[in-house]
Amino acid sequence: MKYYLFGNWKCNPVSAQEAKKLISDTAKSVKRTEKVEVAVFPPFCYLYEVVGKKKEVAVGAQNCCFKEAGAFTGEVSPRQIADLECKYVLIGHSERRKIFSETDSFVNDKTKLALACGLVPVVCVGETDEERTAGRAVEIVTGQIEAGLKDVDAKQVLVAYEPVWAIGTGKACGLAEAREISRMIKEALGSETPVLYGGSANAKNGAVYLKEAGYDGLLVGGASLKADEFAKMFEEIEGLD
Ligand code: 13P
């Protein structure tokens, strides 16, 4: 069984000095093993600082442009990200969908281009609080998967289920709800597509999603900014059967 421990730093930290310290503390306490693939996703401006540590930690970007190059002010293309020797790219994180109005069709374009550029896309899906309360969680995630991965070989991507209401709230998803979604995603895409859980995952609850809810890994936000907590999550996952 292969597991994944991914840290999404989001728009943190605010200085290169802190980013250097975070990657060096993280790299000291985790390693990429046959069993656990560890990766961090820093802001674009720190990718250079971090790729040097890629022996211990794989590196990914948090977003990419839907085109390879050209007049797209403020964008960074998957070709450029791949050229930096990053391995992964997050696509369709709920913060991008919500704050930057990214649609499933945009997610699909970016996923196809990222693959063509040699990156491994980590496609993020998840329902809002309102959608879950209305009993529409499975329907929403199914729609995001179908549209976001249209004409994509699912064996070449990872999917991260991040219920929007669980992100940064301390209210992690219940195991039964999380299990229902991991099962649905695997039924839709096949068992070869790794499925990660994200949303208030920490050292106490993280490994339980892998043990008891059918997930292959974690996409961690806040807890990945604390190297010691991230290291504990690594140890928990390393210790799984
Ligand atoms: P938190 O772990 O801070 O809830 O964030 C999850 C996330 O959005 C990772 O992409």
User: Ligand 1 centroid to 82 CA: how many Å?
Assistant: 24
CA angle 201, 205, 210 (to 5 degrees): 90
Q: What is the pLDDT of residues 190-220, one digit of tens each?
A: 999 999 999 999 999 999 999 999 999 999 9
Q: Which residues contact 188 (CB under 8 A, 6 or more apart)?
A: 142, 145, 146
Nearest to 217 by CA among 203, 236, 237, 202: 237
> Is residue 236 annotated as part of the catalytic site, yes or no?
no
* Prediction pTM value: 0.97
What is the distance in A from the centroid of ligand 1 to the CA of 70? 31
3 state SS of 176: helix
34 is catalytic: no
Rounded to the nearest angstrom, the distance between the alpha carbon of 35 and the centre of ligand 1 is: 23
Nearest protein CA to atom 1 of ligand 1, as residue: 221
Query: Which of 102, 127, 162, 236 is an active site residue?
Result: 162
Supply the residue whose CA is at minimum distance from atom 2 of ligand 1: 221
Whether 52 has a pLDDT exceeding 90, the answer reads no
Q: What is the pLDDT of residues 89-137, one digit of tens each?
A: 999 999 999 999 999 999 999 999 999 999 999 999 999 999 999 999 9
> Domain with 90 in it: what CATH number?
3.20.20.70
For residue 54, pLDDT beyond 90: no
Q: What is the pLDDT of residue 32?
A: 86
Instruction: Kindly tell me if the per-residue pLDDT of 53 is higher than 90.
Output: no
23, 50 in Cβ contact below 8 A? yes
**Mean pLDDT of the residues in the chain:** 96
Q: How many distinct structural domains can be found in the chain?
A: 1
Residue 233: pLDDT band (50, 70, 90) is: very high
- Looking at this protein, which amino acid is placed at residue 54? K
Span 96-107, pLDDT tens digits? 999 999 999 999
pLDDT of 140: 98
Range of the structural domain that residue 228 is part of: 3-238
The closest-lying atom of ligand 1 relative to the alpha carbon of residue 223 is 2
Q: For residue 147, give the nearest of 178, 181, 95, 111 by alpha carbon.
A: 111
Rounded to an integer, what distance in angstroms lies between the CA atom of residue 30 and that of residue 62?
21
Spot the catalytic one: 93, 102, 131, 236.
Answer: 93
> Could you identify the atom of ligand 1 that is nearest to the CA of residue 167?
4
Query: What atom of ligand 1 comes closest to residue 222's alpha carbon?
Result: 3
Q: In whole angstroms, what separates CA 145 from the centre of its chain?
A: 15
Token pair in block for residue 114: 């990222």
pLDDT, mean of residues 140-157: 98
Structure tokens of 234? 């690594």
Instruction: Name residues whose C-beta falls within 8 Å of residue 240's C-beta, 6 or more positions apart in sequence.
Output: 1, 3, 207, 210, 211
pLDDT of 35 = 95
- Dmax over CA atoms of the chain, in Å, equals 49
Which residue ranges have their beta carbon within 6 Å of ligand 1? Answer: 8, 93, 162, 167-168, 198-201, 219-223
Sign of CA dihedral 66, 145, 96, 136: positive
pLDDT higher than threshold 90 for residue 1: no
Q: Is the pLDDT of residue 167 over 90?
A: yes
